[in-house]
Structure 1
Amino acid sequence: MENSQFFKQVWRINGVIIMVAGLLAIGVLMFAAYQIFKETIRERGVSGIVNIEASGEVKEKWQLGYLSSIQGTSFVMIPLSSDQQYSQSYYDKSALSIRNYLFINKQENQQHWLLSSNDHLIMKADVLSDSASSGQRSAALAILFTVIASDTNGDDRLTAKDVKNVALSQPSGQAYREVLQGIDRVVGYSLTGKESLLLVYQRGDVGYTMTINLTDFSTSNEAVLPKIQN
Protein backbone atom coordinates (compact mmCIF):
# COMPACT_ATOMS: atom_id res chain seq x y z
CA MET A 1 0.00 0.00 0.00
CA GLU A 2 2.79 2.40 0.95
CA ASN A 3 4.61 1.64 -2.33
CA SER A 4 1.44 2.30 -4.30
CA GLN A 5 0.97 5.68 -2.62
CA PHE A 6 4.63 6.52 -3.24
CA PHE A 7 4.40 5.78 -6.97
CA LYS A 8 1.18 7.77 -7.22
CA GLN A 9 2.96 10.79 -5.73
CA VAL A 10 5.86 10.31 -8.15
CA TRP A 11 3.45 10.14 -11.10
CA ARG A 12 1.69 13.26 -9.92
CA ILE A 13 4.98 15.14 -9.56
CA ASN A 14 6.09 13.92 -12.99
CA GLY A 15 2.77 15.01 -14.47
CA VAL A 16 3.17 18.49 -12.97
CA ILE A 17 6.73 18.74 -14.28
CA ILE A 18 5.63 17.64 -17.76
CA MET A 19 2.74 20.12 -17.72
CA VAL A 20 5.00 23.00 -16.61
CA ALA A 21 7.59 22.06 -19.25
CA GLY A 22 4.88 21.95 -21.90
CA LEU A 23 3.54 25.35 -20.86
CA LEU A 24 7.05 26.80 -20.93
CA ALA A 25 7.65 25.34 -24.39
CA ILE A 26 4.37 26.79 -25.65
CA GLY A 27 5.29 30.17 -24.13
CA VAL A 28 8.70 30.14 -25.80
CA LEU A 29 7.15 29.23 -29.16
CA MET A 30 4.52 31.96 -28.84
CA PHE A 31 7.18 34.55 -27.95
CA ALA A 32 9.34 33.49 -30.89
CA ALA A 33 6.35 33.62 -33.22
CA TYR A 34 5.46 37.10 -31.96
CA GLN A 35 9.03 38.33 -32.51
CA ILE A 36 9.02 36.91 -36.05
CA PHE A 37 5.63 38.50 -36.74
CA LYS A 38 6.79 41.86 -35.37
CA GLU A 39 9.98 41.68 -37.43
CA THR A 40 7.92 40.83 -40.51
CA ILE A 41 5.47 43.73 -40.30
CA ARG A 42 7.72 46.42 -38.85
CA GLU A 43 8.85 49.39 -40.91
CA ARG A 44 12.32 48.96 -42.37
CA GLY A 45 14.46 52.08 -42.29
CA VAL A 46 17.07 52.57 -45.01
CA SER A 47 19.02 55.49 -46.45
CA GLY A 48 20.36 56.39 -49.87
CA ILE A 49 17.36 55.02 -51.78
CA VAL A 50 14.81 56.97 -53.82
CA ASN A 51 11.72 55.08 -54.99
CA ILE A 52 10.68 56.32 -58.44
CA GLU A 53 8.02 53.71 -59.22
CA ALA A 54 5.30 55.33 -61.33
CA SER A 55 2.64 52.87 -60.13
CA GLY A 56 3.78 52.60 -56.51
CA GLU A 57 2.03 54.39 -53.67
CA VAL A 58 4.80 56.45 -52.11
CA LYS A 59 4.21 58.92 -49.30
CA GLU A 60 6.97 61.51 -49.27
CA LYS A 61 7.88 63.99 -46.57
CA TRP A 62 10.57 66.63 -46.92
CA GLN A 63 12.80 67.83 -44.13
CA LEU A 64 15.84 70.06 -43.70
CA GLY A 65 18.88 68.67 -41.92
CA TYR A 66 21.54 70.31 -39.80
CA LEU A 67 23.39 73.28 -41.22
CA SER A 68 27.15 73.29 -41.63
CA SER A 69 29.35 76.33 -42.13
CA ILE A 70 31.58 76.48 -45.17
CA GLN A 71 35.08 77.31 -44.01
CA GLY A 72 36.32 80.80 -44.83
CA THR A 73 33.01 81.99 -46.31
CA SER A 74 29.80 83.57 -45.09
CA PHE A 75 27.76 80.62 -46.38
CA VAL A 76 26.15 77.65 -44.67
CA MET A 77 24.71 74.59 -46.42
CA ILE A 78 21.68 72.59 -45.29
CA PRO A 79 20.71 69.20 -46.77
CA LEU A 80 17.14 68.67 -47.96
CA SER A 81 16.09 65.06 -47.41
CA SER A 82 13.06 63.10 -48.54
CA ASP A 83 11.54 60.54 -46.19
CA GLN A 84 9.61 58.06 -48.32
CA GLN A 85 7.19 55.53 -46.85
CA TYR A 86 5.97 52.73 -49.08
CA SER A 87 4.98 49.09 -48.95
CA GLN A 88 7.32 46.42 -50.24
CA SER A 89 6.02 42.86 -50.28
CA TYR A 90 4.83 42.16 -46.73
CA TYR A 91 6.46 45.03 -44.86
CA ASP A 92 6.68 48.83 -44.93
CA LYS A 93 9.88 50.63 -45.82
CA SER A 94 11.08 54.11 -44.92
CA ALA A 95 13.87 55.64 -46.99
CA LEU A 96 15.66 58.85 -46.02
CA SER A 97 17.80 60.36 -48.77
CA ILE A 98 19.46 63.71 -49.55
CA ARG A 99 17.93 65.30 -52.65
CA ASN A 100 19.22 68.89 -52.63
CA TYR A 101 21.15 71.49 -50.61
CA LEU A 102 20.06 74.93 -49.49
CA PHE A 103 22.78 77.59 -49.32
CA ILE A 104 22.37 80.68 -47.13
CA ASN A 105 24.55 83.76 -47.02
CA LYS A 106 24.63 84.53 -43.29
CA GLN A 107 25.60 88.17 -43.74
CA GLU A 108 22.92 89.08 -46.27
CA ASN A 109 20.36 86.35 -45.45
CA GLN A 110 20.10 85.36 -49.11
CA GLN A 111 19.16 81.78 -49.98
CA HIS A 112 19.33 79.58 -53.05
CA TRP A 113 19.13 75.89 -53.89
CA LEU A 114 22.03 73.93 -55.34
CA LEU A 115 19.83 72.13 -57.90
CA SER A 116 16.82 73.45 -59.78
CA SER A 117 14.84 70.27 -58.96
CA ASN A 118 14.81 67.54 -56.32
CA ASP A 119 14.91 64.63 -58.77
CA HIS A 120 18.46 63.50 -58.00
CA LEU A 121 19.96 61.46 -55.17
CA ILE A 122 23.05 63.11 -53.69
CA MET A 123 25.27 60.36 -52.33
CA LYS A 124 28.08 62.56 -51.01
CA ALA A 125 29.14 66.19 -50.66
CA ASP A 126 32.76 67.03 -49.80
CA VAL A 127 33.92 70.58 -49.10
CA LEU A 128 37.40 70.94 -50.60
CA SER A 129 39.84 73.12 -48.68
CA ASP A 130 43.60 73.24 -48.49
CA SER A 131 45.37 72.59 -45.19
CA ALA A 132 47.51 75.38 -43.83
CA SER A 133 50.94 74.69 -42.36
CA SER A 134 49.53 75.16 -38.86
CA GLY A 135 47.16 72.26 -39.42
CA GLN A 136 44.10 74.50 -39.64
CA ARG A 137 41.91 74.33 -42.71
CA SER A 138 41.98 77.30 -45.05
CA ALA A 139 39.04 78.76 -46.95
CA ALA A 140 36.97 76.32 -49.01
CA LEU A 141 37.91 76.08 -52.69
CA ALA A 142 34.91 74.15 -54.06
CA ILE A 143 32.39 71.45 -53.16
CA LEU A 144 32.58 68.00 -54.75
CA PHE A 145 29.32 66.06 -55.19
CA THR A 146 28.63 62.42 -56.07
CA VAL A 147 25.15 62.27 -57.62
CA ILE A 148 22.74 59.63 -58.93
CA ALA A 149 20.72 61.27 -61.71
CA SER A 150 18.84 58.32 -63.24
CA ASP A 151 17.82 54.71 -62.70
CA THR A 152 20.40 52.96 -64.86
CA ASN A 153 19.79 49.36 -63.71
CA GLY A 154 16.02 49.46 -64.16
CA ASP A 155 14.92 48.58 -60.61
CA ASP A 156 12.74 51.70 -60.17
CA ARG A 157 15.11 53.01 -57.52
CA LEU A 158 17.93 55.53 -57.36
CA THR A 159 20.62 53.77 -55.33
CA ALA A 160 24.37 53.28 -55.11
CA LYS A 161 23.97 50.44 -57.62
CA ASP A 162 23.24 52.97 -60.38
CA VAL A 163 26.00 54.76 -62.26
CA LYS A 164 27.11 58.05 -60.76
CA ASN A 165 27.94 61.56 -61.89
CA VAL A 166 30.56 63.81 -60.35
CA ALA A 167 29.81 67.51 -60.01
CA LEU A 168 31.41 70.60 -58.53
CA SER A 169 30.14 73.94 -57.29
CA GLN A 170 31.67 77.05 -55.85
CA PRO A 171 31.74 77.21 -52.02
CA SER A 172 28.62 79.37 -52.25
CA GLY A 173 26.74 76.60 -54.06
CA GLN A 174 26.76 78.58 -57.31
CA ALA A 175 28.06 77.46 -60.73
CA TYR A 176 27.05 73.81 -60.22
CA ARG A 177 28.48 71.71 -63.03
CA GLU A 178 28.70 67.98 -63.74
CA VAL A 179 32.28 67.25 -64.78
CA LEU A 180 32.06 63.48 -65.12
CA GLN A 181 29.15 61.16 -65.96
CA GLY A 182 28.44 57.44 -65.95
CA ILE A 183 31.06 56.16 -63.51
CA ASP A 184 30.74 53.30 -61.03
CA ARG A 185 32.80 54.60 -58.12
CA VAL A 186 34.86 57.53 -56.91
CA VAL A 187 38.01 55.94 -55.55
CA GLY A 188 39.40 59.16 -54.09
CA TYR A 189 40.74 62.61 -54.77
CA SER A 190 43.60 64.89 -53.80
CA LEU A 191 44.18 68.62 -54.12
CA THR A 192 47.24 69.56 -56.16
CA GLY A 193 47.43 73.19 -55.11
CA LYS A 194 44.60 75.68 -54.77
CA GLU A 195 43.43 75.48 -58.36
CA SER A 196 43.63 71.81 -59.25
CA LEU A 197 42.14 68.50 -58.12
CA LEU A 198 43.29 64.98 -58.99
CA LEU A 199 40.30 62.61 -59.16
CA VAL A 200 40.62 58.81 -59.22
CA TYR A 201 37.55 56.85 -60.31
CA GLN A 202 36.37 53.56 -61.75
CA ARG A 203 34.18 52.82 -64.75
CA GLY A 204 33.48 49.12 -65.12
CA ASP A 205 36.66 47.21 -64.31
CA VAL A 206 38.93 50.04 -65.45
CA GLY A 207 40.40 52.74 -63.21
CA TYR A 208 41.08 56.30 -64.37
CA THR A 209 42.61 59.54 -63.20
CA MET A 210 41.60 63.04 -64.23
CA THR A 211 42.70 66.57 -63.43
CA ILE A 212 40.01 69.17 -62.67
CA ASN A 213 40.64 72.91 -62.70
CA LEU A 214 38.88 74.36 -59.67
CA THR A 215 38.71 77.83 -61.21
CA ASP A 216 36.44 76.99 -64.15
CA PHE A 217 35.78 73.24 -63.50
CA SER A 218 37.35 72.22 -66.79
CA THR A 219 38.84 68.72 -67.03
CA SER A 220 42.04 67.44 -68.59
CA ASN A 221 44.66 64.70 -68.55
CA GLU A 222 42.30 61.74 -68.28
CA ALA A 223 44.40 58.60 -68.09
CA VAL A 224 43.82 54.89 -67.60
CA LEU A 225 45.41 53.33 -64.52
CA PRO A 226 47.87 50.46 -65.09
CA LYS A 227 46.28 47.01 -65.02
CA ILE A 228 46.74 44.91 -61.91
CA GLN A 229 49.48 42.34 -62.44
CA ASN A 230 48.46 38.71 -61.88
Structure 2
Amino acid sequence: MKSRRIFHYIWRINSVIILMGGLLAILSLSASAVYVILQATRTREVDSVINIANNEQVKAKTEIGTFTPISGSEILQAPLYLIQDYDYRAGSKESSSIQNYIFFDPNQKRSYWLRPKSEGLFLSAIALVQNSNPIDNNLILNANNEEKPVPVVAFLYVLVDKDTNNDKRINDRDQKQIAISNAAGTSFKVLIDQVERFNGYSAIKNNRLSVFYTSSNKIKVAEIDLRSQEIVSNSEFSSQP
Protein backbone atom coordinates (compact mmCIF):
# COMPACT_ATOMS: atom_id res chain seq x y z
CA MET A 1 0.00 0.00 0.00
CA LYS A 2 2.77 2.36 0.93
CA SER A 3 4.62 1.53 -2.25
CA ARG A 4 1.53 2.41 -4.27
CA ARG A 5 1.25 5.77 -2.50
CA ILE A 6 4.93 6.49 -3.07
CA PHE A 7 4.50 5.57 -6.75
CA HIS A 8 1.44 7.84 -6.92
CA TYR A 9 3.38 10.78 -5.41
CA ILE A 10 6.29 10.20 -7.75
CA TRP A 11 3.91 10.12 -10.71
CA ARG A 12 2.31 13.40 -9.62
CA ILE A 13 5.73 15.03 -9.16
CA ASN A 14 6.80 13.81 -12.60
CA SER A 15 3.58 15.16 -14.06
CA VAL A 16 4.26 18.57 -12.53
CA ILE A 17 7.85 18.49 -13.83
CA ILE A 18 6.67 17.52 -17.31
CA LEU A 19 4.02 20.24 -17.22
CA MET A 20 6.54 22.88 -16.13
CA GLY A 21 8.97 21.70 -18.76
CA GLY A 22 6.27 21.90 -21.41
CA LEU A 23 5.29 25.39 -20.32
CA LEU A 24 8.91 26.53 -20.38
CA ALA A 25 9.35 25.03 -23.85
CA ILE A 26 6.20 26.79 -25.08
CA LEU A 27 7.37 30.10 -23.60
CA SER A 28 10.80 29.67 -25.17
CA LEU A 29 9.34 28.83 -28.58
CA SER A 30 6.91 31.75 -28.31
CA ALA A 31 9.71 34.16 -27.43
CA SER A 32 11.79 32.85 -30.34
CA ALA A 33 8.84 33.20 -32.71
CA VAL A 34 8.19 36.78 -31.54
CA TYR A 35 11.88 37.63 -31.99
CA VAL A 36 11.92 36.17 -35.51
CA ILE A 37 8.77 38.09 -36.44
CA LEU A 38 10.16 41.34 -35.04
CA GLN A 39 13.44 40.85 -36.88
CA ALA A 40 11.64 40.05 -40.13
CA THR A 41 9.30 43.04 -39.93
CA ARG A 42 11.60 45.69 -38.44
CA THR A 43 12.95 48.64 -40.39
CA ARG A 44 16.51 47.96 -41.53
CA GLU A 45 18.82 50.96 -41.83
CA VAL A 46 21.67 51.15 -44.33
CA ASP A 47 24.03 53.90 -45.42
CA SER A 48 25.41 54.97 -48.80
CA VAL A 49 22.98 52.98 -50.93
CA ILE A 50 20.57 54.49 -53.47
CA ASN A 51 17.81 52.28 -54.83
CA ILE A 52 17.13 53.21 -58.47
CA ALA A 53 14.74 50.34 -59.24
CA ASN A 54 11.43 51.36 -60.80
CA ASN A 55 9.43 50.72 -57.66
CA GLU A 56 6.37 52.75 -56.72
CA GLN A 57 6.81 51.65 -53.11
CA VAL A 58 10.05 53.62 -52.75
CA LYS A 59 9.47 56.81 -50.80
CA ALA A 60 12.24 59.40 -51.01
CA LYS A 61 12.95 62.71 -49.34
CA THR A 62 15.96 65.00 -48.91
CA GLU A 63 17.21 66.40 -45.66
CA ILE A 64 20.04 68.81 -44.84
CA GLY A 65 22.30 67.63 -42.04
CA THR A 66 24.16 69.59 -39.37
CA PHE A 67 26.25 72.61 -40.38
CA THR A 68 29.84 72.42 -39.15
CA PRO A 69 32.56 75.05 -39.51
CA ILE A 70 35.45 74.38 -41.88
CA SER A 71 38.67 74.57 -39.89
CA GLY A 72 40.55 77.80 -40.52
CA SER A 73 37.52 79.47 -42.11
CA GLU A 74 34.22 81.05 -41.13
CA ILE A 75 32.39 79.09 -43.84
CA LEU A 76 30.13 76.26 -42.71
CA GLN A 77 29.38 73.00 -44.50
CA ALA A 78 26.48 70.54 -44.25
CA PRO A 79 25.62 67.35 -46.15
CA LEU A 80 22.43 66.86 -48.14
CA TYR A 81 20.97 63.42 -47.43
CA LEU A 82 18.72 61.42 -49.72
CA ILE A 83 16.55 59.22 -47.48
CA GLN A 84 14.71 56.32 -49.09
CA ASP A 85 12.13 54.08 -47.44
CA TYR A 86 10.94 50.95 -49.25
CA ASP A 87 9.53 47.49 -48.63
CA TYR A 88 12.07 44.78 -47.87
CA ARG A 89 10.85 41.19 -47.47
CA ALA A 90 8.27 41.28 -44.65
CA GLY A 91 9.55 44.56 -43.26
CA SER A 92 11.03 47.77 -44.63
CA LYS A 93 14.43 49.27 -45.30
CA GLU A 94 15.60 52.86 -44.87
CA SER A 95 18.73 54.11 -46.61
CA SER A 96 20.53 57.38 -46.00
CA SER A 97 23.01 58.66 -48.59
CA ILE A 98 24.90 61.93 -49.03
CA GLN A 99 24.13 63.42 -52.45
CA ASN A 100 25.58 66.89 -52.16
CA TYR A 101 27.04 69.48 -49.80
CA ILE A 102 25.75 72.94 -49.04
CA PHE A 103 28.01 75.77 -47.85
CA PHE A 104 27.13 78.94 -45.99
CA ASP A 105 29.21 82.11 -45.94
CA PRO A 106 28.15 84.14 -42.86
CA ASN A 107 30.03 87.25 -44.04
CA GLN A 108 28.13 87.45 -47.33
CA LYS A 109 24.98 85.88 -45.89
CA ARG A 110 24.72 83.47 -48.81
CA SER A 111 24.55 79.73 -49.35
CA TYR A 112 25.64 77.67 -52.35
CA TRP A 113 25.94 74.03 -53.40
CA LEU A 114 29.06 72.03 -54.13
CA ARG A 115 27.47 70.55 -57.28
CA PRO A 116 24.71 72.12 -59.40
CA LYS A 117 22.73 68.85 -59.35
CA SER A 118 22.13 66.40 -56.53
CA GLU A 119 22.64 62.94 -58.01
CA GLY A 120 24.60 59.82 -57.19
CA LEU A 121 26.21 59.68 -53.77
CA PHE A 122 29.34 60.78 -51.93
CA LEU A 123 31.18 57.94 -50.20
CA SER A 124 33.64 60.27 -48.46
CA ALA A 125 34.70 63.91 -48.18
CA ILE A 126 38.22 64.23 -46.80
CA ALA A 127 39.48 67.55 -45.41
CA LEU A 128 43.06 68.17 -46.53
CA VAL A 129 45.52 70.31 -44.58
CA GLN A 130 48.86 71.72 -45.67
CA ASN A 131 52.04 69.68 -45.07
CA SER A 132 50.23 67.16 -42.91
CA ASN A 133 47.62 64.45 -42.92
CA PRO A 134 44.26 65.31 -41.33
CA ILE A 135 44.31 64.66 -37.61
CA ASP A 136 41.63 64.41 -34.95
CA ASN A 137 39.48 67.53 -34.87
CA ASN A 138 42.00 69.25 -37.18
CA LEU A 139 44.03 70.44 -34.19
CA ILE A 140 47.78 70.83 -33.63
CA LEU A 141 49.88 72.11 -30.73
CA ASN A 142 51.63 75.47 -31.07
CA ALA A 143 54.82 76.54 -29.30
CA ASN A 144 52.92 77.06 -26.05
CA ASN A 145 51.39 73.57 -26.24
CA GLU A 146 48.03 75.11 -26.96
CA GLU A 147 45.62 73.56 -29.41
CA LYS A 148 45.43 75.49 -32.67
CA PRO A 149 43.10 74.78 -35.60
CA VAL A 150 44.75 73.50 -38.78
CA PRO A 151 43.31 75.34 -41.80
CA VAL A 152 41.70 73.13 -44.43
CA VAL A 153 43.15 73.88 -47.89
CA ALA A 154 41.01 71.53 -49.99
CA PHE A 155 38.59 68.63 -49.94
CA LEU A 156 39.12 65.24 -51.58
CA TYR A 157 35.94 63.40 -52.55
CA VAL A 158 35.12 59.81 -53.49
CA LEU A 159 31.74 59.54 -55.19
CA VAL A 160 29.57 57.31 -57.35
CA ASP A 161 27.32 58.71 -60.07
CA LYS A 162 26.03 55.66 -61.94
CA ASP A 163 24.90 52.07 -61.45
CA THR A 164 27.77 50.47 -63.38
CA ASN A 165 27.11 46.84 -62.35
CA ASN A 166 23.38 46.98 -63.22
CA ASP A 167 22.10 45.80 -59.84
CA LYS A 168 19.55 48.66 -59.61
CA ARG A 169 21.55 50.27 -56.82
CA ILE A 170 24.20 52.94 -56.56
CA ASN A 171 26.74 52.04 -53.89
CA ASP A 172 30.44 51.39 -53.28
CA ARG A 173 30.35 48.32 -55.55
CA ASP A 174 30.01 50.57 -58.59
CA GLN A 175 32.76 52.42 -60.46
CA LYS A 176 33.81 55.49 -58.52
CA GLN A 177 35.14 58.96 -59.21
CA ILE A 178 37.75 61.00 -57.36
CA ALA A 179 37.21 64.75 -57.21
CA ILE A 180 38.52 67.80 -55.38
CA SER A 181 37.38 71.28 -54.42
CA ASN A 182 38.92 74.18 -52.58
CA ALA A 183 38.20 74.65 -48.88
CA ALA A 184 35.25 76.92 -49.61
CA GLY A 185 33.62 74.37 -51.92
CA THR A 186 33.49 76.77 -54.88
CA SER A 187 35.64 74.86 -57.40
CA PHE A 188 34.46 71.26 -57.55
CA LYS A 189 36.15 69.14 -60.23
CA VAL A 190 36.16 65.42 -61.03
CA LEU A 191 39.72 64.32 -61.83
CA ILE A 192 39.65 60.51 -62.05
CA ASP A 193 36.97 58.18 -63.46
CA GLN A 194 36.49 54.41 -63.50
CA VAL A 195 37.93 53.86 -60.03
CA GLU A 196 37.38 50.39 -58.60
CA ARG A 197 38.78 51.22 -55.18
CA PHE A 198 40.16 54.26 -53.39
CA ASN A 199 43.46 53.25 -51.77
CA GLY A 200 44.45 56.39 -49.88
CA TYR A 201 46.44 59.58 -50.29
CA SER A 202 49.65 61.26 -49.22
CA ALA A 203 50.41 64.40 -47.26
CA ILE A 204 50.37 67.66 -49.19
CA LYS A 205 53.82 68.88 -50.22
CA ASN A 206 54.44 71.94 -52.37
CA ASN A 207 50.69 72.12 -53.01
CA ARG A 208 50.73 68.66 -54.52
CA LEU A 209 48.94 65.54 -53.38
CA SER A 210 49.36 61.89 -54.39
CA VAL A 211 46.17 59.82 -54.62
CA PHE A 212 46.27 56.03 -54.78
CA TYR A 213 43.49 54.03 -56.43
CA THR A 214 42.71 50.79 -58.25
CA SER A 215 41.59 50.82 -61.87
CA SER A 216 41.49 47.89 -64.34
CA ASN A 217 42.82 45.71 -61.48
CA LYS A 218 45.98 47.83 -61.27
CA ILE A 219 47.19 50.06 -58.46
CA LYS A 220 47.74 53.60 -59.74
CA VAL A 221 48.97 56.84 -58.25
CA ALA A 222 47.98 60.28 -59.51
CA GLU A 223 49.88 63.39 -58.48
CA ILE A 224 47.50 66.35 -58.27
CA ASP A 225 48.36 70.04 -58.26
CA LEU A 226 45.86 71.62 -55.87
CA ARG A 227 46.27 75.11 -57.29
CA SER A 228 45.52 74.25 -60.90
CA GLN A 229 43.35 71.23 -60.03
CA GLU A 230 45.15 69.23 -62.69
CA ILE A 231 46.78 65.79 -62.69
CA VAL A 232 50.53 66.35 -63.04
CA SER A 233 51.41 62.69 -63.47
CA ASN A 234 49.71 59.31 -63.40
CA SER A 235 51.55 56.03 -63.05
CA GLU A 236 50.91 52.45 -61.97
CA PHE A 237 52.84 49.83 -60.07
CA SER A 238 52.57 46.14 -59.39
CA SER A 239 50.18 45.05 -56.66
CA GLN A 240 52.01 41.72 -56.28
CA PRO A 241 55.43 41.12 -54.60
Give the Cα separation in 2 of the matches to 1:194 and 1:53. Answer: 46
- Cα distance, 1:227 vs structure 2: 4.2
- Cα distance, 1:205 vs structure 2: 2.0
Alignment match of 2:185 (pick from 164, 173, 177)? 173
> 1:105 and 1:6, CA in 2 relative to 1: closer, same or farther beyond 3 A?
same
- Cα distance, 1:201 vs structure 2: 0.8
Contact 2:129/2:204 (8 A) holds in 1: no
> 1:22 and 1:78, CA in 2 relative to 1: closer, same or farther beyond 3 A?
same
- Cα distance, 1:20 vs structure 2: 1.0
Contact 1:141/1:194 (8 A) holds in 2: no
Structure 2 alignment gaps of length 5 or more: 133-139
RMSD: 1.7
Q: 1:48 is matched by which residue type in structure 2?
A: S
- 1:7-51 deviation line (CA, Å, top 9, x unaligned): 111111111111111111111111111111111111111101011
Q: 1:190 is matched by which residue type in structure 2?
A: S
Q: 1:85 is matched by which residue type in structure 2?
A: D
Equivalent residues in 2 for 1:116-155 (5 A)? 116-130=116-130, 131=132, 134=142, 136=148, 138-155=150-167
Question: Could you tell me which residue of structure 2 aligns to residue 12 of structure 1?
Answer: 12
Question: Could you tell me which residue of structure 1 aligns to residue 168 of structure 2?
Answer: 156
Structure 1 alignment gaps of length 5 or more: none
Contact 1:129/1:137 (8 A) holds in 2: no
Give the Cα separation in 2 of the matches to 1:42 and 1:55. Answer: 20
Give the Cα separation in 2 of the matches to 1:133 and 1:44. Answer: 43
Contact 2:51/2:170 (8 A) holds in 1: yes
Tell me the SS of whatever aligns to 1:144: strand
1:215 aligns with 2:235: no
Q: 2:190 is matched by which residue type in structure 1?
A: E
Give the Cα separation in 2 of the matches to 1:24 and 1:51. Answer: 44
Alignment match of 1:199 (pick from 189, 211, 219)? 211
- 1:38-70 deviation line (CA, Å, top 9, x unaligned): 111111111010111123421112222222211
Give the Cα separation in 1 of the matches to 2:154 and 2:206. Answer: 10
- 1:186-205 deviation line (CA, Å, top 9, x unaligned): 11111342521111111132
Question: For this pair of structures, how many residues does the alignment match?
Answer: 229
Q: 1:218 is matched by which residue type in structure 2?
A: E
- 1:91-143 deviation line (CA, Å, top 9, x unaligned): 21010111110100122221001111221200000111114884855422211
Q: Percent identity over the alignment?
A: 28
Contact 1:211/1:221 (8 A) holds in 2: yes
Contact 2:40/2:89 (8 A) holds in 1: no
TM-score calculated relative to the size of structure 1:
0.93
Tell me the SS of whatever aligns to 2:33: helix
Give the Cα separation in 2 of the matches to 1:158 and 1:54. Answer: 14
Question: Could you tell me which residue of structure 2 aligns to residue 84 of structure 1?
Answer: 84
